Amino acid sequence: MAANGVTAVLLLSCPDQKGLVAAVSEFLYKNEGNIIHADQHTDQEEGVFLQRVEWELDGFAIAREEIEQAFQPIAERFGMTWSLRFSDSTARIAVFVSKLPHCLYDLLARWKMGEFQAEIPLVISNHDDLAPIAGDFGVEFRRYEIGTQTKAAAEKEIVALLEDQRIDLVVLARYMQLVGEKFVARYRNKIINIHHSFLPAFAGARPYHQAHERGVKVIGATAHYVTPELDQGPIIAQDVAQTSHRDSVPDLVRKGRDLEKVVLARAIDLHLRQRIVVYGNKTVVFD
Amino acid sequence: MAANGVTAVLLLSCPDQKGLVAAVSEFLYKNEGNIIHADQHTDQEEGVFLQRVEWELDGFAIAREEIEQAFQPIAERFGMTWSLRFSDSTARIAVFVSKLPHCLYDLLARWKMGEFQAEIPLVISNHDDLAPIAGDFGVEFRRYEIGTQTKAAAEKEIVALLEDQRIDLVVLARYMQLVGEKFVARYRNKIINIHHSFLPAFAGARPYHQAHERGVKVIGATAHYVTPELDQGPIIAQDVAQTSHRDSVPDLVRKGRDLEKVVLARAIDLHLRQRIVVYGNKTVVFD
Amino acid sequence: MAANGVTAVLLLSCPDQKGLVAAVSEFLYKNEGNIIHADQHTDQEEGVFLQRVEWELDGFAIAREEIEQAFQPIAERFGMTWSLRFSDSTARIAVFVSKLPHCLYDLLARWKMGEFQAEIPLVISNHDDLAPIAGDFGVEFRRYEIGTQTKAAAEKEIVALLEDQRIDLVVLARYMQLVGEKFVARYRNKIINIHHSFLPAFAGARPYHQAHERGVKVIGATAHYVTPELDQGPIIAQDVAQTSHRDSVPDLVRKGRDLEKVVLARAIDLHLRQRIVVYGNKTVVFD
Amino acid sequence: MAANGVTAVLLLSCPDQKGLVAAVSEFLYKNEGNIIHADQHTDQEEGVFLQRVEWELDGFAIAREEIEQAFQPIAERFGMTWSLRFSDSTARIAVFVSKLPHCLYDLLARWKMGEFQAEIPLVISNHDDLAPIAGDFGVEFRRYEIGTQTKAAAEKEIVALLEDQRIDLVVLARYMQLVGEKFVARYRNKIINIHHSFLPAFAGARPYHQAHERGVKVIGATAHYVTPELDQGPIIAQDVAQTSHRDSVPDLVRKGRDLEKVVLARAIDLHLRQRIVVYGNKTVVFD
């Protein structure tokens, strides 16, 4: 059945120009590709075209390992930045945490229930507190001492570990540490952070305290790709909840936890299903 | 400039089959069409393909009055149900009301502010109450006596008036009357109603009373195309608001008015911008 | 510090009459009670007064074990239905499940993180599937064969077990079985169910299929107390999420899971913090 | 009938102390007051107690013009800041606008429909554009030249006009001008502004452009009391809407208009129904 078969997903962006859609659809049609989803966006101001197209491998005239090569001439002709993935590929995620367990619990439970097309083989932390949770779920837990002096060296070790473990996606699940520039550069658009406010409001530390102080009537959470500038990366997903004067800071924290969990999981899911294209400092989310 | 120029919008649905996207994009590409939006959906269960594509007329090789004819062979080849509109066309709306003014005020103000690509030349009612509002906005107001005995005849007259006035879209803005089958058949998928609940909950009369009685914690509003069965037509837009035990029925009515206005206006706007395809008893909304 | 000290919570309802608020506040004031929260509601139509008042035990002139007796005369004078609880009391919850794990995972993780002022010593199911999850969290898992013939006897056993375990609250976390009348009567307003639709829409079986069939643009979840009539009990909490034609039934199921988890947890939390009064078939939620 | 009769509303704040609730409820009880709503809040950190209590005048033992005097001793005893209003009083609103009509249309329509317990006798602007709208609704329109040199003098004139017209509430309905300090001081907590973002994000000019630039996935609107610091006053109400990469700046503006209208109207309604207490730079909203 189509819906259950393996599909190929092509994500691409390039300067907007005539004939783009025709060229891609012609390529698929000539090779007997059955498109099951296609979505595109043109940023008129920037003159950028972005597309996501998904088709069934079953019946496609080109063998899956040869599709990249077959598509290459089209990509070159239009100057595309592009990637090709298959729906049966399984990403490997490393989750970074500090002391707060709610996002970790949530991600591990989702993984165990099969919500993500991914494995979570590794939890990394700058504290020991959450080691037992990783243990309960049978996941390796590594703790690194990360201080002002030790950070650069620790992150070098961490990157080596991530590479050794063939990690595709790094998730900062309330990891209370800035990630260094080299690390960020190595995993460009592959590190997702959850920030506990509706950015750009309340960037930085203690956003629930800031929100309470300012007396806002909504709080939020933001999942974004990590860039070297704190809380400034491309936003993937955001959600908010109503609050009132009755909510103390602990109440905001409690309400916020549910936002954080849901928004972070949504962003991970979108990333894993190849639904996000980053361009400039923004995302296009083909949902 | 592209964003301000006139565009053509093609809306189509047909049995899903290979080569559809290629054929449409090839047609546009060969004729120098610059696509600025394209969206499509495949209903896997029903095997139905639906598409919306919008391109600039400026630079297109086919004169606007000849596009239909030029596209006809493709439409026939794939068995398409389709329509073609231009972004500079202006629809003509008749608004039907009874006694409640909030949706009428809202629609007339939006029209005056230029929010809709439409004219509102006509307000029709089964009561006199709202005649002064239509008058303030310089819109013709017609009242019809609509009772059990008089309804069929009145609706015949009304349809004649709508035809005479070249009305494209009928909006039931809290019109407290069932519309007859002949009327509905004549304006199939061209009558939009606002119902003051999140359908299918609380269909029929007095939904806010029903909601209060049931003790729900959210109320809603639903805009849908009208079919012969009351409150059963294809849903276009829905929204909800939180409520609590503090909300009496008048409070629900007050909160609900804002939902009704916004949801109705959103549905009209989507209709006017050719963003809705109806198939079966559902809508695909390309937003 | 006040906010961390133990508090007493009085929940009451009675026929509306003058002097109620004065009598309660006088009682607290005379006994040196420092009120930290008070909320009340009058249902004008039904003539019912409902109140929640919370004060610090520290400094209160009456010993905690004697407060009930001291308040009794006031309760009698006004014909109150009332209850008194202390913020350091810990409820005992039994979670009922069938095959779907998401709510169970979520509840057990929240419990482990200390989100609930409660213990979860017991998971009960009509299937074996989720036994390992209970095991991972160190919670006793009991499976009962519940068929048409065996149900009455099984529920009798279950009630005996619940009583033996001193269970205060039963949570049906996607438990796909009707609970019998005797069971319901025994735990009146102490059984919370999560239904995966915004009731009263899509009561009964397979609500996501119903929602997809109807083409709604929002889906929802509803937590309610269980009464003998299926999905008809007093609603505690509801929330919704936007959907579109792109959402297949599995997508609705996926989106719905997050709604279900959050709405169910919110209802349990409100119950445990003595914030709900049931009257008639409705709730007053003092949040 | 109680619900339709005239009520008195007492709004108060003072240092938190024992006996407050008892004193107020005793005062009402002794004088045969039938409380129909009462709500209170204690800010534990600041040690501030805030209360709103509403009771029926019908049957109350003190004549309405003597209530203030009768309550004065209690207010003094506890050091209260307080106000007393009656539900049949009608406020007088001046609406300030510049060139954008959507909030003005919305407010005038709500006023005409009787949604507000208020009159709108006056529209003030620094431009002529919206004069015809005020005219259509039969409201006086005054235009003032407000430039760097003329502002102080113009605002002096405006304040004189507001006083002459006995204006109780000033509403800045997309008025694109900073209001001077003297004006603000004269109408402290009586000037409501609508800002077209979820403050504190995107304070200042062109928030929709800022939001688009940043690539946020939600936009918002904020109604707040005006203080001398731009966009820094106590927040009354906020709401948000989901957006996506498909939304250009004009789309954000269009979606935002509906948020602005609804949030501004909600704030005005809360103000008029005496549901807001300002303390520090925050509001307590007794809804």
- Rounded to the nearest angstrom, the minimum Cα separation between B173 and chain D is 16
pLDDT digits (tens, 9 = 90+) for C188-218: 999 999 999 999 999 999 999 999 999 999 9
Q: Say yes or no for a CB contact (<8 Å) between A22 and B18.
A: no
Alpha carbon of residue C18 to chain centroid:
31
- Rounded to the nearest angstrom, the minimum Cα separation between D265 and chain B is 10
A180 and A203 fall within a common domain: yes
DSSP SS3 for B72? helix
Where do we find the tokens 């307590």? D284
Q: What is the CATH number of the domain that holds D146?
A: 3.40.50.170
pLDDT digits (tens, 9 = 90+) for B151-160: 999 999 999 9
Identify whether the C-beta of residue C42 lies closer than 8 Å to the C-beta of residue D36.
Answer: yes
Catalytic site includes residue A269: no
Q: Say yes or no for a CB contact (<8 Å) between C39 and D40.
A: yes
B35 in contact with A, Cβ within 8 Å: yes
C170 and C66 fall within a common domain: no
- Rounded to the nearest angstrom, the minimum Cα separation between B250 and chain D is 11
Chain A residue whose CA is closest to D210 = A200
Q: Say yes or no for a CB contact (<8 Å) between A33 and B18.
A: yes
Distance CA C179, CA C175 (A): 9
Element (H, E) at D121: strand D118-125
Query: Which residues in chain A have their CB less than 8 angstroms from residue C265's CB?
Result: 258
Q: Does residue D73 have a cis bond before it (omega within 30 degrees)? A: no
From the candidates D58, D128, D136, D231, which is the catalytic residue? D231
- The residue among A4, A39, A106 with the most chain C CBs within 10 A of its CB, best to mutate, is A106
**CB environment A94-107: b (16+ within 10 A), e (fewer):** bbbbbebbbbbbbb
Q: Looking at this predicted complex, what is its ipTM? A: 0.94
Distance CA A266, CA A260 (A): 10
B95 and B82 fall within a common domain: no
Q: What share of chain C is helix, strand, coil (3-state, %, to 5)?
A: 35, 30, 35
Q: Which of D86, D117, D145 is the last residue of a domain?
A: D86
Distance CA C254, CA C176 (A): 18
Residue from the list D105, D136, D258 with its beta carbon closest to the beta carbon of B262: D258
B35 and B123 fall within a common domain: no
Q: Say yes or no for a CB contact (<8 Å) between B113 and D105.
A: yes
Q: What is the CATH number of the domain that holds A68?
A: 3.30.70.260
From the candidates B231, B247, B251, B258, which is the catalytic residue? B231
Chain B residue whose CA is closest to D136 = B136
User: CA D281, D284, D285 angle in degrees (round to 5)?
Assistant: 130
Residue from the list B41, B198, B238 with its beta carbon closest to the beta carbon of C245: B41
pLDDT digits (tens, 9 = 90+) for D199-212: 999 999 999 999 99
Instruction: Check residue C248 and report its DSSP letter.
Output: -
C47 in contact with B, Cβ within 8 Å: no
- Rounded to the nearest angstrom, the minimum Cα separation between A105 and chain C is 6
Task: Give the model's pLDDT for residue B4.
Answer: 58
Q: Say yes or no for a CB contact (<8 Å) between A198 and D218.
A: yes
A182 and A227 fall within a common domain: yes
Task: Give the model's pLDDT for residue C287.
Answer: 85
Which range marks the domain in which residue A155 is found?
A: 91-285
A52 and A125 fall within a common domain: no
A112 in contact with C, Cβ within 8 Å: yes
B237 in contact with C, Cβ within 8 Å: yes
- The residue among B198, B217, B266 with the most chain C CBs within 10 A of its CB, best to mutate, is B217
A230 and A104 fall within a common domain: yes
Q: Which two tokens stand for residue B192?
A: 């939009």
Q: Which of B86, B105, B124 is the last residue of a domain?
A: B86
Chain A residue whose CA is closest to D201 = A201
Chain D residue whose CA is closest to B248 = D3
D42 and D71 fall within a common domain: yes
Angstrom distances, CA of residue D108 to CA of A143, A273, D97, D130, D159: 63, 48, 12, 12, 22
Q: Which two tokens stand for residue B210?
A: 């029903």
User: CA A224, A229, A233 angle in degrees (round to 5)?
Assistant: 20
D48 in contact with A, Cβ within 8 Å: no
- Rounded to the nearest angstrom, the minimum Cα separation between C18 and chain D is 6
Q: Say yes or no for a CB contact (<8 Å) between D215 and A234.
A: yes
Query: Which residues in chain D have their CB less than 8 angstroms from residue A233's CB?
Result: none
DSSP SS3 for B242? strand
Beta strand pairing call for D81-86 and D7-15: antiparallel
* Number of folded domains that form chain B: 2
Residue from the list A41, A198, A234 with its beta carbon closest to the beta carbon of D201: A198
Identify whether the C-beta of residue D106 lies closer than 8 Å to the C-beta of residue B109.
Answer: yes
Task: Give the model's pLDDT for residue D4.
Answer: 57
Q: Say yes or no for a CB contact (<8 Å) between A217 and D235.
A: yes
A233 and A102 fall within a common domain: yes
Mean pLDDT by 10 residues, chain A (287 residues): 75 93 93 91 92 95 97 97 96 98 98 97 98 97 93 96 98 95 97 97 94 96 96 97 95 97 98 95 94
Query: Which residues in chain B have their CB less than 8 angstroms from residue D109's CB?
Result: 101-102, 105-106, 109
C137 in contact with A, Cβ within 8 Å: yes
Q: Which of B53, B86, B119 is the last residue of a domain?
A: B86
- The residue among B218, B231, B264 with the most chain C CBs within 10 A of its CB, best to mutate, is B218
A25 in contact with B, Cβ within 8 Å: yes
Band the pLDDT of C4: cuts 50, 70, 90. low
Q: What pLDDT tens digit does each residue of chain B (287 aa) get?
A: 344 589 999 999 999 998 898 999 999 999 999 898 889 999 988 999 999 999 999 999 999 999 999 999 999 999 999 999 999 999 999 999 999 999 999 999 999 999 999 999 999 999 999 999 999 999 999 999 998 899 999 999 999 999 999 999 999 999 999 999 999 999 999 999 999 999 999 999 999 999 999 999 999 999 999 999 999 999 999 999 999 999 999 999 999 999 999 999 999 999 999 999 999 999 999 98
Distance CA C177, CA C191 (A): 13
pLDDT digits (tens, 9 = 90+) for A127-168: 999 999 999 999 999 999 998 899 999 999 999 999 999 999
Kindly list the catalytic residues of C.
Answer: 231
- Chains touching C by CB (3 or more pairs below 8 Å): A, B, D
Q: Say yes or no for a CB contact (<8 Å) between A35 and B26.
A: no
Chain C residue whose CA is closest to B210 = C200
Query: Which residues in chain B have their CB less than 8 angstroms from residue D102's CB?
Result: 109, 113
Query: Which residues in chain D have their CB less than 8 angstroms from residue A200's CB?
Result: 201-202, 214, 216
Task: Give the model's pLDDT for residue A4.
Answer: 58
Residues in chain D: 287
Residue from the list B30, B40, B44 with its beta carbon closest to the beta carbon of A2: B44
D117 and D237 fall within a common domain: yes
Chain B residue whose CA is closest to A1 = B44
pLDDT digits (tens, 9 = 90+) for D211-248: 999 999 999 999 999 999 999 999 999 999 999 999 99
Compute the average pLDDT of residues C224-229: 96
D29 and D104 fall within a common domain: no
B14 in contact with A, Cβ within 8 Å: no
Identify whether the C-beta of residue B71 lies closer than 8 Å to the C-beta of residue B53.
Answer: no
Identify whether the C-beta of residue B179 lies closer than 8 Å to the C-beta of residue B158.
Answer: no
Query: Which residues in chain D have their CB less than 8 angstroms from residue A285's CB?
Result: 217, 244-245
Task: Give the model's pLDDT for residue A100.
Answer: 98
Distance CA B164, CA B273 (A): 24
B215 in contact with C, Cβ within 8 Å: yes
Residue D27 predicted with pLDDT over 60: yes
B3 in contact with A, Cβ within 8 Å: yes
DSSP D18-34: TTHHHHHHHHHHHTT-E
Which one-letter amino acid corresponds to residue A272? L
Identify whether the C-beta of residue B237 lies closer than 8 Å to the C-beta of residue B285.
Answer: yes
Chain C residue whose CA is closest to B247 = C43
Three-state DSSP string of chain A = CHHHCCEEEEEEEEECCCCHHHHHHHHHHHCCCEEEEEEEEEECCCCEEEEEEEEECCCCCCCHHHHHHHHHHHHHHHCCEEEEEECCCCEEEEEEECCCCHHHHHHHHHHHCCCCCEEEEEEEECCCCCHHHHHHCCCEEEECCCCCCCHHHHHHHHHHHHHHCCCCEEEECCCCCCCCHHHHHHCCCCEEEEECCCCCCCCCCCHHHHHHHHCCCEEEEEEEECCCCCCCCCEEEEEEEECCCCCCHHHHHHHHHHHHHHHHHHHHHHHHCCCEEEECCEEEECC
Compute the average pLDDT of residues D178-190: 96
B270 and B155 fall within a common domain: yes
Query: B–D: how many Cβ contacts below 8 A?
Result: 35
